Chains A and B, each alone.
Chain A
Amino acid sequence: SAVISQKPSRDICQRGTSLTIQCQVDSQVTMMFWYRQQPGQSLTLIATANQGSEATYESGFVIDKFPISRPNLTFSTLTVSNMSPEDSSIYLCSVEFRYEAFFGQGTRLTVV
């Protein structure tokens, strides 16, 4: 399996500020995914990030709010911009490795 390091593991942020979440993989992967998981809910895909191209966002998620970078085949960042309490959630990085998806440890974000 792929080993994924995601940081920070948690943060408490003031509304109106931005937080950048980093995801590092120990293998080169074509696709990286960013999910959100709200308390007691399942995973919702935010966007898919391929190296060398613009991220593809799912319905309800926009680039201005969740800008993503994918500078190489082992790294990606997700920024949560202009945060509000409604953005409080767990954010998860995922990669597809040999047709299976693996997840980072997650970032628990609380916006106050």
Chain B
Amino acid sequence: QKEVEQNSGPLSVPEGAIASLNCTYSDRGSQSFFWYRQYSGKSPELIMSIYSNGDKEDGRFTAQLNKASQYVSLLIRDSQPSDSATYLCAVKGGAGSYQLTFGKGTKLSVIP
């Protein structure tokens, strides 16, 4: 069974600090990796996708992927109180696979 593991948190960081969110996955054949942000009472919102080993940056967000270690992370620089949310890691399998497997999410609190 494919599994995606995340530390449930809560992770608390002071405003302006770097928040680091981690995710591991069990299916070595996984090819696509996504980070979603979910505010309380709202639906998940895609913030980053990454497909190749290394780093991908988008504004204050950086996704990091290491397929050999089966590890993907999300860094949030200059964290803001508005970043307080649950962050879901999602993984899709290899070619032809269309299903996403979600982790349970990490709750992030940014303290002003």
Which residues on A are within 8 Å of B, measured CB to CB? 1, 31, 41-43, 45, 48, 92, 96, 99-106, 108
Write out, one digit per residue, whether chain B residues 24-49 have a CB within 8 A of any chain A CB (1) or not (0).
00000000101000000111111001
Interface contact A100-B99, CB-CB below 8 Å: no
Q: How far is the CA of A45 from the CA of B49 in the complex (A)?
A: 20
Q: Which B residues between 15 and 74 are near A, CB-CB below 8 angstroms? A: 32, 34, 41-46, 49
Kindly list chain B residues whose C-beta atoms are within 8 Å of the C-beta of A31. 98
Q: How far is the CA of A48 from the CA of B99 in the complex (A)?
A: 9
In this complex, the member of B34, B42, B44, B105 whose beta carbon has the largest number of chain A beta carbons within 10 angstroms is B44
Interface contact B43-A103, CB-CB below 8 Å: yes
Give the residue of B41, B43, B45, B103 whose beta carbon is less than 8 angstroms from that of A42: B103
With an 8 Å Cβ cutoff, the count of chain B residues facing the other chain is: 18
Q: How far is the CB of B27 from chain A (nearest CB, A)?
A: 15
Write out, one digit per residue, whether chain B residues 73-97 have a CB within 8 A of any chain A CB (1) or not (0).
0000000000000001010000000
Kindly list chain A residues whose C-beta atoms are within 8 Å of the C-beta of B43. 92, 103-106
Q: How far is the CA of A68 from the CA of B91 in the complex (A)?
A: 25
Kindly list chain A residues whose C-beta atoms are within 8 Å of the C-beta of B49. 99-100
Kindly list chain A residues whose C-beta atoms are within 8 Å of the C-beta of B90. 101
Name which residue of chain B comes closest to A1, CB basis.
Answer: B46
Q: How far is the CA of A101 from the CA of B48 in the complex (A)?
A: 11
A45-B99, A48-B98, A96-B98 known; A101 vs B105 contact (CB < 8 Å):
no
Q: How far is the CA of A103 from the CA of B34 in the complex (A)?
A: 13
Interface contact B102-A43, CB-CB below 8 Å: yes
Kindly list chain B residues whose C-beta atoms are within 8 Å of the C-beta of A42. 88, 102-105
23 cross-chain CB contacts under 8 A: A1-B46, A31-B98, A41-B104, A42-B105, A45-B99, A48-B98, A48-B99, A92-B44, A96-B98, A99-B32, A99-B49, A100-B46, A100-B49, A101-B46, A101-B90, A102-B46, A103-B44, A103-B45, A104-B43, A105-B43, A106-B42, A106-B43, A108-B41
